[in-house]
Amino acid sequence: MSSALADLTGANRFRALWQRCLIDGTADDSASIHRRLLDGYRETQRHYHTLEHIEHCLNMFDQCKSLASNPDALELAVWFHDVIFEPGRHDNEAQSAALYQHFSDGAHDTATRSLVDRLIMATLHDGNSLQDNDAQYMVDIDLSSFGLSWEDFVHDSDNLRRENPHLGDCEYFHNQSRFQNALLQRERFFQSDFFSQRFEKQARDNVSRYLTIIESRD
């Protein structure tokens, strides 16, 4: 693990976050929860949804957190949003949200728990759960890797393919084409001004170039 990754996903950062959200008088299980998160993101079936993805998301969060209405809830959602990941399942986000609910039961207040749940579910990228700016930041944080350099984008795309060995090329690339075309057809690729101003052009260029490549496979 790089020193930067250790800093962003280290125990001290997570424990401070968890403790800030604790209801007075409740037990602090943040050390064991942090270990569970790291164990999840280190599972062998992962190639994209790893600690490196969480590092990237936390880095993006750090850049926009001053704009968030509830930065602690947003950061909790970043930590938990991909902690459950089983290739081929369609309820990974719901299961990730459920794990947060399990750990936070009796420890965080109802409003925080409800918001974190909704922010995690926003990463389904189906256009739902976007009632406020924090949800927009959440989906933009999760999609911000689309705005990286072409080389990094291709690296991420290859790792996503490796996470789906149960799908043949035809089905996998058809699904990717449908999803990425939907992103391109939005008025804006990113929901928030912060991310649109920084990554909109690169993300659109990357996706357009990638779609040309995968659609030529047909």
Comparing CA positions, the residue from 137, 96, 132, 143 lying closest to residue 117 is 96
Q: Which residues contact 139 (CB under 8 A, 6 or more apart)?
A: 122, 123, 125, 130, 191
Asked if residue 118 lies in contact with residue 112, where contact means CB atoms within 8 angstroms, the answer is no
Dump pLDDT digits (tens) for 12-63: 999 999 999 999 999 999 999 999 999 999 999 999 999 999 999 999 999 9
Task: Please report the sign of the dihedral spanned by the C-alpha atoms of residue 121, residue 1, residue 48, residue 211.
Answer: positive
Mean pLDDT of 61-85: 98
What pLDDT sits at residue 217?
Answer: 74
Q: Is the pLDDT of residue 2 over 60?
A: no
Please give the backbone phi and psi of residue 116, each rounded to the nearest 5 degrees, phi first.
-60, -40
* 71 vs 61: CA distance, rounded Å: 9
Q: Is the pLDDT of residue 1 over 50?
A: no
At 86, which amino acid appears? E
What pLDDT sits at residue 5?
Answer: 53
pTM: 0.94
At 122, which amino acid appears? A
Dump pLDDT digits (tens) for 135-157: 999 999 999 999 999 999 999 99
- CATH class of the domain comprising 3-215: mainly alpha
Q: Across the chain, what does the average pLDDT equal?
A: 94
